[in-house]
Amino acid sequence: MEPFEQSALELTAMLDRKQISVVEVMQATLARIDAVNGSVNAIVSLRDHDSLMAEAAKADAAPRRGPLHGVPMAIKDLADAKGLPTSMGSPIHAGQIATSDALMVARLRAAGAIIIGKTNTPEFGLGSHTFNPVHGVTRNPYDLSRSAGGSSGGAAVALSTRMLALADGSDMMGSLRNPAAWNNIYGLRPSWGLVPSSTSGDSFLHQLSTLGPMARSPCDIAALLEVQAGSDPRVPHGRCESGFMPDLDVDLTGKRIGWLGDWGGAYPMEPGILELCQDALHTLSDLGAEVEELAPPFEAAQLWESWTQLRSWSLLSDEVALYDDLETRKALKPAMIWEIEHGLSLSALQVHAASVIRSEWFRKAASMFAVYDALILPSAQVWPFPADWIHPEQVNGVATDTYHRWMEVVIPVSLIGLPALNIPVGFGSGGLPMGLQIFGARGSDKALLEMGQAWHRATNWPNARPPDMGFV
C-alpha cells in the first residue's frame, strides 16, 4: 500500500519502526500532490520539491522529535507558518511572508511535522465555500463542478484525496464540520479554549472561533489533537485536558443521544439530507445507543440574533482597520464589508443583550447534557453547490437573507463553544457526501471521539468510498 493510503497513525508507526523513511513519505506525498492538486486546487503556496526533500533527509538523520516526526502537513492559509505567505485569500495580504509561526504551527513543528505549504481558504475565512481572488476555487473531489465547503475546504480536500494524512483547520461557523461533511472525512471543533488560537490581540472577549484537527478517522483526529491542545500561559481561558489517545474503543450501549433534526422546521434542508441523516441514526441504535427525537430546545430566531451580532462584533474588531482605509476597503469581499458595517451599527447594550441570549442557551444546553451524552444535527443544510456560485440564494425554496444563512444549523454549537465532531454518513442520490455533527458539553471531546470511533468501525466511509480521481 502506498504511504498516502495509510492512516496517520499507521504512517507514524511505520516511520518509528524504520519500515519507511521520511524521504520515501515525502516523495510519495509530492507525487500525489502533482497528480491530484491540479484538479482540485486544495494545496497552495507549496514549497519547492528540492527543499522539502532536503528537509525530509535531515529528518531521517535526526532523532525522533515527537509524535508527528516526518509527517508532511500543510497549514490552513489563515495561520502564519514561518517562511510561507499568509494570504488569507485576500489581495491585501497576498505575498506577505510570515516571519514566525503561529502558536499551533509551532506545536506541530515541535512534534516533528514538516510544513510543506498551505491549504486554501475563502477570503478571510468568510463563507463556507473555498474560493478567493488570490488562489482561486477549491473543488470537491466527488464532483469537480461543486464546492468543497469551507472555510477549511482546502484541508478537507487534501485529506479526502490522500494528499495529506492530517490537516489543521479552524471553525467559527462550521468551518471544521461543513467541509468535512462535504468531503467524506472527520472534523472536530474542540471545546473552546482547548486549542489556543493566538498570543496577540484581544484574547478575552471573543469566544466564537477555534482551531482544530481534521483527518480520515477519529483516532487520527485524537493524535493531532494531542499536539494542538493544551493551555498556553499567555492565553486566558485555556483548557488543560489531554489523554485523547490511545484507546478510543468503547461500547455505545446505553449512550443517550438526542436527535434535533431540522430544529422543528426552523432550519430548511435540501431534499435527501434529513433522510440520509435519519438512516445514520439506525446505525447508532444498532451500536447500542438510545437515540431519541427531541423538540427544539431554544428559539432559533434568538440564536440567530445573538450569533449575527456577536460574530459581526468579533470580525469588526479584527478587520476594522482595513475598512477604515479607503484603498484596502476596495479589496474587501462584500461579506466582510457586511460584517464590519453590521458590527459598527451595534451599541454596547445590543452586544450585551446578544451575550445574555448566548448565556441562556448555554444554561439550557447544560441541562440537556445532564440527560443526554450527546446531541446530533446535520452538518449542513444543503448539498455541495456549484463551485461558481458565491453562496446559495435559497434553501429548499426558502430565500437566504444573508451570505451565511444557509449554514444556520451550525450555530447552536458555535455560539457557546461546544465540541462537535462531524461524522461522514454516506452519499445522497446525486453521489455527494454528507455528515452529522455530534456535539456535547464542554470538555466532552474525548467522549465524542469515542462515539465517532465506534461509528467509524461500523461504517469506515472515508475508506469505503474515497473519491475517484480518474487515475487510481
Q: What mean pLDDT, rounded, does the chain reach?
A: 96
Active site residue 151: yes
Cβ contact 444:191 at 8 Å = yes
Q: Which three cell numbers stand for residue 145?
A: 463542478
Q: Which three cell numbers stand for residue 395?
A: 434553501
Domain boundaries, the chain: 3-464
Backbone angles phi, psi at 260, to 5 degrees: -100, -5
Assign 472 a pLDDT band (cuts: 50, 70, 90): very low
Residue of 76, 118, 333, 446 marked active site: 76
Q: Which fold does the domain 3-464 belong to in CATH?
A: Amidase signature (AS) enzymes (3.90.1300)
User: Of the ranges 3-7, 15-19, 242-246, 359-363, which one carries the lowest mean pLDDT score?
Assistant: 242-246
The answer to whether the bond into 246 is cis (omega within 30° of 0) is: yes
User: Of the ranges 146-155, 316-325, 371-380, which one carries the lowest mean pLDDT score?
Assistant: 316-325
Backbone angles phi, psi at 164, to 5 degrees: -135, 155
Mode of pairing for the β-strands spanning 374-378 and 256-259:
parallel
Q: What is the mean pLDDT of residues 178-196?
A: 97
pLDDT of 425 > 50? The answer is yes
Q: Per residue in 161-193, is it b (16+ CB within 10 Å) or e — as a string? A: bbbbbbbbbbbbbbbbbbbbbbbbbbbbbbbbb
What is the pTM (predicted TM-score) of this model?
0.97
3-state secondary structure 379-428: CCCCCCCECCCCCCCEECCEECCCCCHHHHHHHHHHCCCCCEEEEEEEEC
Cα–Cα distances (Å) from 14 to 25, 31, 216, 452, in that order, read 10, 19, 18, 25
Residue of 151, 170, 197, 312 marked active site: 151
Q: What is the pLDDT of residue 197?
A: 84
For helices 334-344 and 300-324, give the axis angle rounded to 10 degrees.
100
Q: What is the pLDDT of residue 465?
A: 97
Per-residue pLDDT tens digits for 261-314: 999 999 999 999 999 999 999 999 999 999 999 999 999 999 999 999 999 999
Q: What is the pLDDT of residue 157?
A: 98
Per-residue pLDDT tens digits for 221-259: 999 999 999 988 998 888 878 778 768 999 999 999 999
Active site residue 175: yes
Who's near 106: CB < 8 A, 6+ residues apart? none
Q: What is the pLDDT of residue 411?
A: 98
Residue of 7, 152, 170, 175 marked active site: 175
Who's near 359: CB < 8 A, 6+ residues apart? none
3-state secondary structure the chain: CCHHHCCHHHHHHHHHCCCCCHHHHHHHHHHHHHHHHHHHCCEECCCCHHHHHHHHHHHHHCCCCCCCCCCEEEEECCCCCCCCECCCCCCCCCCCECCCCCHHHHHHHHCCCEEEEEECCCHHHCCCCCEECCCEECEECCEEEEECCCCCHHHHHHHHCCCCCCEEEEECCCCCCHHHHHCCCEEEECCCCCCCCCCCCCCCCCCCCEEEEEECCHHHHHHHHHHHCCCCCCCCCCCCCCCCCCCCCCCCCCCEEEECCCCCCCCCCCCCHHHHHHHHHHHHHHCCCEEEECCCCCCHHHHHHHHHHHHHHHHHHHHHHHHHCHHHHCCCCHHHHHHHHHHHCCCHHHHHHHHHHHHHHHHHHHHHHCCCCEEEEECCCCCCCECCCCCCCEECCEECCCCCHHHHHHHHHHCCCCCEEEEEEEECCCCCEEEEEEECCCCCHHHHHHHHHHHHHHHCHHHHCCCCCCCC
